[in-house]
Structure 1
Amino acid sequence: MVSQSSSVGYTIMGKTADLTVVQKTTTDTLHKEGKTQKVIAKEAGCSQSSVSKHINREVKGRKRCGRKKCTSNRDNRTLERIVKQNPFKNVGEIHKEWTAAGVSASRTTTHRRMQDMGFSCRIPCQATLEQQTASEASRSQSLEEEEEAQNPHCLRSSVKFPQSVMVWGAMSSASVAPLCFLRSKVNAAVYQDVLDHFMLPAADQLYGDADFIFQQDLAPAHSGKATSTWFKDHGIPVLNWPANSPDLNPMENLLGIVKRKMRYARPNNAEELKATIRPIWTLITPEQCHRLIDSMPRCTAAVIQAKGAPTMY
C-alpha cells in the first residue's frame, strides 16, 4: 500500500540526503516565520544540517547541481494521479503503470519521485466493513488533521466470511469457454448437468469435430461411477492423472491469472463478485491459453525431476 505523509530524513554514506518537497515547503514556511533551525528540523523530520544547507542555498540563490531530471512536471502529475487512484498498489505496479503511460523512467526513479511528492510505503490497517462504514459516516471537515493510517480511504476491508461463488470453466489452447456459476453444492447429478449444458457446447465451440481429451480435477463428483459412465456414454476420453497435482493442470494457472486481476476488487455480495469475474474471464486472450497449454511438457518434466514435489509451475 502507498500512503502520503511527510518523510523522515535519513543519511546515506555519511552524506545528508536531499529534502523531500514536503520537507522543503515546511522548512521555507517556518523559516519565514522566524523559527530556529532546530525547531524547523524537528517539525520537518530531518537533520538540522539539512535545514541549514537548504536555507543557505535559497538565500544565496544557488540551485542544486547535477543531471537534469528525466521526467517532466506533466509526467510527475501523471504519477501522482496513478498513486492516488489506488493507494494499495506497490512500487513495482505503479512503475509499470507509469511507464505504460509513456514515461521513460526506472523503478528507482519512480520510487524517488514518489518520495519527493511525500508518498511512502506502508502496510495498510484492516477494518471490518462495519467499522469502515461507520468511520466513513463520521468523517468531517477535520479529516486533514487525523492520522492517515486511520483514514477510511486507506483502510483495507476485512470480513470474517468473505463472499464466494462456485464457478465451472473450461479452456483449450485456442480460447476459453463461457463460465457457469453454480448455485448449489456440486454432487454427481449437478456435475453431469453442467457437463450436458456447458461442457458439450464448449467442446463444440473449442474443437468442432476434432478429437480431444478432457482433463478435470478428481473431486468425488468428477470421479464417481455415475460420472464415469456419463463420459463413456458420450464417448469422451478423460485424462488419467494423479490426484492433488495442480502443477499438471493449466486451469490452475489460468484461475491464478483471474485472481491476480481481481486483487483490488471489493465486491460486497455474491452478485457483485460475479459481475467482477465475468469481464475478466472474457478478456482472457487465445495467446494466454496457448502459452499455458504449450508449457505442459515443461511442467511434466519439472514434476518428474522433482519426483512429485512442488515445482515453480
Structure 2
Amino acid sequence: MTDFFFCNFERLVKQNRFKNLSELHKEWTEAGVKASRATTHRRVKEFGYSCRIPLFKPLLNHRQRQRRLTWAKEKKKWTVAQWSKVFFSDENKFCISFGNQGPRVWRKGGDAHSPSCLKSSLKFPQSVMILGAMSSAGVGPLCFLKTKVTAPFYQEILEHFMLPSADQLFKDADFIFQQDLAPAHTATSTKSWLNDHGVGVLDWPANSPDLNPTENLWGIVKRKMRNKKPKNVDELKATVKETWASIPSQQCHRLITSMPRQIKAVIKAKGAPTKY
C-alpha cells in the first residue's frame, strides 16, 4: 500500500467526517485501491479515527457570536456567589424511544469539539414537551407542556411553577430569573408580568442553550434513562419526573461553580460554542 493511497484515504475521511464506512470504502476503491470493507475499516482505525455520536451545538451567525462575546465579557467578573443567585430555566424534548441516536462521525481523541465533527442544532425543535428550572440549591418541579407556549400560557407557568419553585429554592433571598429569547418569554405582556411580580431577569444572548447549566442536567437525566423502556407517554413522564427529582443539589451546585470557567471559555472562543 503506497504512501500516496494512505494520504489520499485520510483526505477522504477529513473531507466529510459524516460519511459512513460503506461510502468511504466505495470512494477508496473507485480511486483504484483493491481493499475489502474490513480493510477499509482497519485503515480508518489505524489513522486514529473512531466512529462516534457527534456533539450538537447551536448554529451561530457572526452577530450572535459577537453578542455572546460581549455578554461573556460583561459577566467576566461574576463570582460563584453571584451565579448562585440565578434561577435557570430551559425547555427540552424527551422521546419514548432513545434508540435512534442519529448520524455518526469519524473523529480522533480530542476532536469532539472540532467544527468538522459537530452537527448544528436548530434553535426551535419540532416539539417541546418539558420545562424545568434549577439553581445552585437544586431543581424545581417540572412543567409538562401540552400545547404551544403562548405568552398568556407562559405567564401561567411562571405563576404556578416558577414562583413556587423560587420560593422553595431561594427562600426569602433575592434571585435573578434566566430564560431564553423565545417569543412568549420576550412578549410585552410577559415583561409586564415579570415587572409587576418583582422578578429580575438575566440578560441573555440569542441561540445560546450551551451557556445554560440546565442543558447539562437534561443530559444527565437522559443518560440515567438509557436503560429505561417507557411504553407510553404517561410512563415516560413518570420516568423523567422521577429521574429529574433524583438529581442531588450538590450536582446542581457543581454546575453553577463551572460558570466562571465557562465564561472564560466563551471569551477564548470569541463567542463560538464551547465544550460546556
Give the TM-score of the pair, scaled to structure 1: 0.47
For residues 134 and 252 of structure 2, the distance between their equivalents in structure 1, rounded to whole angstroms, comes to 7
Give the deviation of 1:268 after TM superposition.
Answer: 2.5
Q: Would you say how many aligned residue pairs link Structure 1 and Structure 2?
A: 155
Moved more, 265-274 or 199-208: 265-274
For residues 262 and 157 of structure 1, the distance between their equivalents in structure 2, rounded to whole angstroms, comes to 11
Please give the secondary structure, in 1, of the residue aligned with 2:200. Answer: coil
For residues 208 and 263 of structure 2, the distance between their equivalents in structure 1, rounded to whole angstroms, comes to 11
Where does the alignment leave 5 or more consecutive residues of structure 1 unmatched? Answer: 1-128, 130-155, 159-163
1:140 maps to none
Please give the secondary structure, in 1, of the residue aligned with 2:177. Answer: coil
1:186 maps to 149
2:84 maps to none
**Is residue 196 of structure 1 aligned with residue 196 of structure 2?**
no
2:135 maps to 172
Could you give the per-residue CA deviations for residues 30-75 of structure 1, whole angstroms, max 9, x where no partner exists?
xxxxxxxxxxxxxxxxxxxxxxxxxxxxxxxxxxxxxxxxxxxxxx
Could you give the per-residue CA deviations for residues 211-230 of structure 1, whole angstroms, max 9, x where no partner exists?
11100111111111111111
1:5-24 alignment to 2 at 5 Å?
A: none
Q: 1:307 aligns with which of 230, 248, 270?
A: 270
Q: Which has the larger radius of gyration?
A: 1
For residues 175 and 186 of structure 1, the distance between their equivalents in structure 2, rounded to whole angstroms, comes to 25
**Is residue 234 of structure 1 aligned with residue 197 of structure 2?**
yes
Contact preservation (8 Å) 1:165, 1:181: no
1:57 maps to none
For residues 157 and 167 of structure 1, the distance between their equivalents in structure 2, rounded to whole angstroms, comes to 20
The structure that is strand-richer by fraction is 2
Could you give the per-residue CA deviations for residues 225-280 of structure 1, whole angstroms, max 9, x where no partner exists?
11111111111110002011123211111111111112222323211110110110
Could you give the per-residue CA deviations for residues 175-226 of structure 1, whole angstroms, max 9, x where no partner exists?
1111111221111111100001111111110111111110011111111111
For residues 276 and 181 of structure 1, the distance between their equivalents in structure 2, rounded to whole angstroms, comes to 13
Please give the secondary structure, in 2, of the residue aligned with 1:169. Answer: strand
Q: Which has the higher contact order (CA 8 A, sep 6+)?
A: 2
Please give the secondary structure, in 2, of the residue aligned with 1:257. Answer: helix
Please give the secondary structure, in 1, of the residue aligned with 2:130. Answer: strand
1:111-122 alignment to 2 at 5 Å?
A: none
In structure 2, relative to structure 1, the CA distance for the partners of 1:309 and 1:193 (3 Å cut) is: same
Contact preservation (8 Å) 2:179, 2:204: no
1:275 maps to 238
Where does the alignment leave 5 or more consecutive residues of structure 2 unmatched? Answer: 1-95, 101-126
Please give the secondary structure, in 2, of the residue aligned with 1:168. Answer: strand
Give the deviation of 1:292 after TM superposition.
Answer: 0.6
1:214 maps to 177
In structure 2, relative to structure 1, the CA distance for the partners of 1:272 and 1:286 (3 Å cut) is: same
Task: Give the residue type in structure 2 aligned to 1:253.
Answer: N
For residues 255 and 268 of structure 1, the distance between their equivalents in structure 2, rounded to whole angstroms, comes to 20
